[in-house]
A and B are shown apart, each in its own frame.
Chain A
Amino acid sequence: MYKRHTEMKPFIPQRAVCVLFKSHQWAVILLAAMAILCTIAQQSFSQSRASNLPVLKIGSKAFTESVVLGELLSHLGRDAGARVEHLSELGGTQILWNALQSGEIDAYVDYTGTIREEILADAARRGIPVESESEMREELANRSILMSERIGFNNTYALGMREDVAARLGIRKISDLRKHPELEYGLSDEFMERRDGWNQLASRYGIKTRRIRTMDHNLGYRGLVHDAIQITDIYTTDAEIQHYKLRVLEDDLQFFPTYYAVLLMRADLQSRAPKVADALLKVQGLIDPVKMSGMTAMVRLDGKNETYVAGDFLNTKLLMQLELPSNTLGAEWRRIADRLLKTTLEHLFLVAVSLSLAILVAIPFGILSARNERVANVLLGVVSVIQTLPSMALLVFMIPLFGLGPVPAIAALFFYSLLPIVRNTYAGIRQIPVATRESAEVLGLDAKSRLRLVELPLALPSILSGIKTAAVINVGTATIGALIGAGGYGSPILTGIRLSSIPLILQGAIPAAAMAVLAQWAFGMLEKKLVSPGLQPQS
């Protein structure tokens, strides 16, 4: 950047000094910004808290079947007079289970196999029987969680073949495979690894073959279509079963554990909103396997949205009169625009609040570190360790403390933003030449004034570049907030991954990248404005 000496305006650095001079101004500006963002966010996270309707919070996991069921429960609850929030596509069983126990959500659908193997694993270890469904129901009731009767389908592993190939070879049951060693298998990594996976299945059924390739679950279907493989592992409710006309081989030795879908609901919902609780229980026995995979297929293969598919099913099956979102092109564009606005506000909120808090904490930490090498070792050590924690792990740690939604995401992002700012503040102050520091001392300035008038302004370029780094990392990392219901650009990305929809992924990825570039640019401008021209590159 070229600047002529005569163009230098002396008041600019004075203003920079001024900003640091009244260091509380920083805090005031940041707090004001946070207050504004909080207001915006409250509007986008929960509409009108004032209403008297009972609140129902539904959860769902990050796969299509779960999201459809979540939408279905939402319809039922809304129809029974509840104000419903659907925290969709949460990041896994543990997150949902913890959320259910802490009351962050009131109900969601899980599977008996998962309840037995994961949720009640600790009870099983303590010798409490949780094998049968009634045993599970009893143990869950002890934890104030109500488990419904079966919804009506079993979503477990199975082996699948193309209908025409199976018919030609006369294969109906898994044990028929013994007679066909020539067949090629394409199995998913997970199925190869699991305790109830391939190795145990093969030994149980006495299948001996070396013709096995491991591949991605979705590629397995493609392999079948092109006859590159004849057998793959599938889930019994996969949408693709109908689409590709597959035969699900009968598990005649009952090897696979059962994964019957059931509703898990907080017991207190029944006393708080009995009508709503009763409405949710209508899912018992409501959906057979064909209907379930049909609904999933409508979403995954026909591109209908989950709200529509679940509502359409209820209107047909229970003769309800739900208003369905329209599927016209115009409505779709409006949805895209609405989503962009909503996710942008949510994302901005996550980034702005977490970054502001990090700045308020990290700069003093950096100053303390620069003052004392022992403190520096401890502080820099701690924030570095935080940085190495996997983001998913950090998120899970935050849930018991802050529940679900934006708060735990902000907490996690706050921790991730600390390191670059602490380190750059520390380095910025330490790099000031001894002669400069001593000059300030010998003038007769006390330590506080030296910090304000000399050390911080000189460290400012370094501090700002630390904040810039934190901001860019933060914009990217905030996408994982979607895993715990914080919204933001992660939501369309997550949905896009689930639906293998590149356009949907791009609806999150492109604005996230744009926001990162924008943040970079904005901090560049801020740097030019705040940093003394005397410290900026000369011609």
Chain B
Amino acid sequence: MFALENISKSFGDLQVLKLTNVEFPVGKSTVLIGPSGCGKSTMLRVLVGLVQPDTGTVRFEGEAMTEKTLLAMRRRMGYVIQDGGLFPHLTAFENISLMARHLGWDMSARQARVTELADLTRLPATALKRYPAQMSGGQRQRVGIMRALMLDPPVLLFDEPMGALDPLVRFDLQEDLLKIIRTLNKTSIMVTHDMGEAGFFGDQVMMLAEGEIVQQGTLDMLIHQPANDYVTRFINAQRIPHV
């Protein structure tokens, strides 16, 4: 599905990514974790083509990502960022259906799909007419997820999607999001720095440090068979509840 081959990336003198071969299993969820500046966000941005790697290839559904193939590939990925990244001049409905409309879907098709997604993400129908500034943080995030799901892409990418939410809202949304991913059987990749979230979502966890993957496996593996001290220290520093 998604694979990185010999990716390296530097900003000036600072090398932020140095990856040999990384593969993301189909239909599973992978969580990228690590401290600030470890390269986890840059890795995600390389996957969606927002950052051009200095060397190496991004492969999506077997094909290399190039300027030519990028647009079509992006339409088969859903990307969700903190606070949803919504367009402030469009209503929730227009945000969600912008791309579908651009691709020529008629109004009834758009309406049907948005209604379906609103059920799935438990967004109240009245919120669809609102502009981002008129919605709560949780609603904005749900709309962001709906927008990512609109074209039914096989892959979903999340960049700290819960970062801006208060704990109770976050708790509900995490439950809903996990259900969605499981129900739809999507391949998902999520960046977070929250151990609890990593354990909750991740079929597998990749821990990064200084642009390299330190360890890859289930959270259980990371806890009980840590690759090195760094993994243990990072996990302990988070005071996660006992799994």
Contacts and interface: CB of A to CB of B under 8 A. Distances in A.
Given A5-B134, A435-B85, A444-B75, A532 B50 contact: no
B37 interface: no
User: 4 closest pairs, A vs B, by CB?
Assistant: A534-B131, A532-B89, A444-B74, A439-B85
B132 interface: yes
A532 B83 CA distance: 20
Contacts of B77: 442
A535 B83 CA distance: 17
B110 to A, nearest CB: 12
Contacts of B91: 8, 10, 13, 534
Given A435-B83, A438-B85, 15 more contacts: A8-B130, A10-B94, A10-B129, A17-B89, A435-B82, A436-B85, A436-B87, A442-B49, A442-B74, A443-B98, A457-B89, A460-B89, A532-B88, A534-B88, A534-B133
Contacts of A439: 79, 81, 85-87
Interface of B: 48-50, 71-75, 77, 79, 81-83, 85-91, 93-94, 98-99, 102, 129-134, 147
Contact of A534 (B81, B90, B98, B99): B90
A444 B81 CA distance: 15
Contact of B48 (A10, A442, A454, A534): A442
Contacts of A538: 133-134
Interface in A416-444: 435-436, 438-444
A389 to B, nearest CB: 37
Contacts of A449: 102
A108 B90 CA distance: 62
7 contacts: A13-B89, A17-B90, A442-B50, A444-B99, A446-B71, A460-B89, A534-B89
B81 to A, nearest CB: 6
Contacts of B130: 5, 8
A462 B73 CA distance: 34
A438 B77 CA distance: 14
A445 B99 contact: yes
A234 interface: no
Contact of B90 (A442, A531, A532): A532
Contact of B50 (A8, A436, A441, A444): A441
A13 B50 CA distance: 28
A458 B85 CA distance: 14
B100 to A, nearest CB: 10
Interface of A: 5, 8, 10, 13-14, 16-17, 435-436, 438-446, 449, 453-454, 457-458, 460, 531-535, 538
Contacts of A453: 98, 102
Contacts of A454: 87, 89
Given A435-B85, A443-B98, A457-B89, A8 B75 contact: no
Nearest to B134: A5
A441 B70 CA distance: 10
Contacts of A457: 89
A445 B102 contact: yes
A446 B85 CA distance: 18
A443 B99 contact: yes
Contacts of B48: 442
Contacts of B49: 442
B75 A458 contact: no
Contacts of A532: 88-90, 131
B102 A535 contact: no
B129 A8 contact: yes
Contacts of B74: 441-444
A444 B77 CA distance: 9
Contacts of B75: 443-444
B131 A444 contact: no
B94 A535 contact: no
Contacts of A435: 81-83, 85
Contacts of B129: 8, 10
B128 to A, nearest CB: 9
Among A443, A445, A535, chain B packs the most CB atoms within 10 A around the CB of: A443
A458 B95 CA distance: 13
